[in-house]
Structure 1
């Protein structure tokens, strides 16, 4: 099995070709179903039932290729057009073992609603195959600033000052609400995909669930963020992408030999 490569093809078909129990982590950012209404890949299903049935299949194959101690991260969001993810989370959690629900706080909302609060988050459903999973909380600690460390060291309840300082200098443990600003059009990281996730967010998912040398698989690679994060963190990776334009963008991004030509989205 070859690693560190992008397969151009259908996610479900290509996942079926892979051996069982090879991936330490699955990072999946699939179509959300009729959210990006001007993108053909997000509106290809006639009904929500069709979309959910498709998700059943590719998630089952993803769980098959996942190691027994691995984790699968599946992106989605809720809203008037995005409520299908609520049903998807319910049925997937009945078919597979639920591990966690992570909230991605995008830091900035997108103001498209007049009759409800401005949406500012997306969700990441985390599934597992067993109770014994690989998870490293220390890998995603959040640093304290010097002033905060100095303040907390004055707390007289802690007798072992050296141990307390070591803990504080390591940073606080991250919660399952991850605040990472979403990418804007002017971001240097933006590659032309309308739902591209920030590298810093994917870094955290890979860092907490894998070690150097482990394999990360992304069935919907898009512009290549998961592969870029895995490469940076010295993990093996394998990406699948059906769209020819995104496939080319990801290849160029990962080769780092030429500037990326941004693909124009049909989103106004």
Structure 2
């Protein structure tokens, strides 16, 4: 499906350039207004219902009902072979648990098929004197059809192999591209603060690391595929998708976050355009004069 077809249903987007289309508005209404079966990959991290500045805290039942609604809309938007990656943190279930992984509360409330749980281990985080310090979140990988989905392991192999030259019967035992990264991903959080702020940090208070999204997009999509992020936030999904040659559609409610995302995406696309305007000339690199 062409992105222009989607824009005919939702009207003028808040931003559109080079295969990136961002809409300002509620993702549930937006996804329900669009045709079925156009997103090859849905990857997102919605509000955790823990009182962040960008969310209205709901009763647990209301929050789970709302989560079921938007996941259902995302399922409808997905192609027959579509995939869905969901990152959610923890919340308290009164009388039952202090830090219950939210995805565990949703396992039977999604029409997708749960393919695998990935543990995102990020090293830094809050501390505690009466429990072990939390240092991971769950990222659940769902597919629409468990027998037919795209997966490119070679694109995300880990080159850090302990014995890269190990052989058996004279044949190399290890894939020369590296090993399977496994289901525990050691990827640092996007940190903030004086002298410890990540290079990719934006003003958004809960930002995805690009490395996490990059691995998902590379493994689960082909160049030109459409990636959907219903909760665009700071624009990480769109920025990474554009850098990797995928198209992206996103929804965001807040103007300030949209401005952050647009600024970030514009910078990336401008840089890519500049790089594409360089040609090799007698062993030297020179910019092309686009004006003539």
SS across alignment from 1:226? helix
Q: Distance in 2 between matches of 1:195 and 1:20?
A: 30
SS across alignment from 1:104? strand
Equivalent residue, structure 2, for 1:266: none
Q: Distance in 1 between matches of 2:254 and 2:60?
A: 22
Equivalent residue, structure 2, for 1:62: 74
Equivalent residue, structure 2, for 1:175: 182
SS across alignment from 2:265? helix
Q: Distance in 1 between matches of 2:188 and 2:268?
A: 27
Identify the match of residue 128 of structure 1 among 120, 134, 143. Answer: 143
Identify the match of residue 88 of structure 1 among 92, 96, 105. Answer: 105
Q: Residue by residue, what CA displacement relative to the aligned partner does 1:85-105 show, whole Å, maximum 9, x if unpaired?
A: 155332335x43211111111
Q: Residue by residue, what CA displacement relative to the aligned partner does 1:163-217 show, whole Å, maximum 9, x if unpaired?
A: x4xx443110111111111111111200111110100110001111000000000
What's the TM-score, normalizing by structure 2?
0.77
Q: Is this contact kept in 1: 2:113–2:144, CA < 8 A? A: yes
Unpaired segments of 5 or more residues in structure 1? Answer: 259-268
Q: Distance in 2 between matches of 1:195 and 1:65?
A: 25
Which structure: greater helix fraction?
A: 1
What's the TM-score, normalizing by structure 1?
0.84
Unpaired segments of 5 or more residues in structure 2? Answer: 5-18, 93-97, 270-292
Equivalent residue, structure 2, for 1:140: 156
SS across alignment from 2:239? helix
Which structure: greater strand fraction?
A: 2
Q: Residue by residue, what CA displacement relative to the aligned partner does 1:22-78 show, whole Å, maximum 9, x if unpaired?
A: 1110011100111xx352x33332x01011111111000101111121210111123
Q: Is this contact kept in 1: 2:151–2:220, CA < 8 A? A: yes
Query: Greater relative contact order (Cα 8 A, min sep 6): structure 1 or 2?
Result: 1
Equivalent residue, structure 2, for 1:115: 130
Equivalent residue, structure 2, for 1:42: 55
Equivalent residue, structure 1, for 2:191: 184
Larger gyration radius, structure 1 or structure 2:
2
Q: Is this contact kept in 1: 2:49–2:91, CA < 8 A? A: no
1:98 equivalenced with 2:114 (yes/no): yes
Q: Distance in 1 between matches of 2:265 and 2:213?
A: 15
SS across alignment from 1:83? strand
Identify the match of residue 53 of structure 1 among 50, 59, 65. Answer: 65
Call closer, same or farther: CA 1:17–1:181 in 2, change over 3 Å: same
Identify the match of residue 33 of structure 1 among 37, 49, 54. Answer: 49
Aligned-residue Cα RMSD (Å) equals 2.1
SS across alignment from 1:122? strand
Q: Residue by residue, what CA displacement relative to the aligned partner does 1:73-128 show, whole Å, maximum 9, x if unpaired?
A: 111123546526155332335x43211111111122321x3211100101112222
Instruction: State how many pairs are aligned.
Output: 243
